[in-house]
Amino acid sequence: MKSFKIIVCLLVVASFFLSTPVVVEARRDSSKRQAQAEKFRARGEKRMARAGELAGQMGIEFDPQNAKLKVVAEVPIIINGHKVPENLFTEKEKEGIATAETIRRMMMGK
C-alpha cells in the first residue's frame, strides 16, 4: 500500500511538471492572439477613418456602422457604391494600389 501512495504522488508531481509548459505555452499563444486581434482592430479603425475622410471630400454620407467598402492595399477605393476618384489618393496610396493590382495580375497569369 505504501508503494502505491508513492507511485500516485510521483504521478501527481510528474503531471504537474509536464502540464506547466503547456499552460505557459497557452498563455503565450493567448497573448499573441490578443496582440494580433488588437492589430487587426487598429487597421480596421484606420481604414474606416480614411474612408470617412474620403467620403467627406467626395460629399457623400458616411456612417462607419453601416459602411460598405472595397479596399485595396488598405485603401478604400469604393465607399457605399461610390468609386473614389484617384485624385483624392495620396501618392503612397496610389503606389500601394498599383502594386496590389500588379501582384493580382501576376497571380492571375495576365
Q: Where are the domains positioned within the chain?
A: 2-108
The pLDDT, as a whole number, for residue 17 is 53
The pLDDT, as a whole number, for residue 12 is 54
Contact 84, 51 (CB under 8 A): no
CA distances from 84 to 1, 2, 10, 49 (A): 80, 80, 68, 15
pLDDT tens sequence across 8-34: 555 555 555 555 454 556 667 788 899
- pTM score, whole prediction: 0.68
pLDDT tens sequence across 35-58: 999 999 999 999 999 999 999 999
* Partners of 71 in beta bridges: 76
The pLDDT, as a whole number, for residue 5 is 60
Alpha-carbon span 100 to 45, nearest angstrom? 21
The pLDDT, as a whole number, for residue 23 is 52
The pLDDT, as a whole number, for residue 11 is 54
DSSP 88: G
The residues, ordered by sequence, that sit 6+ positions from 52 with a Cβ below 8 Å of its Cβ are 62, 64
pLDDT tens sequence across 69-94: 999 999 999 999 999 999 999 999 99
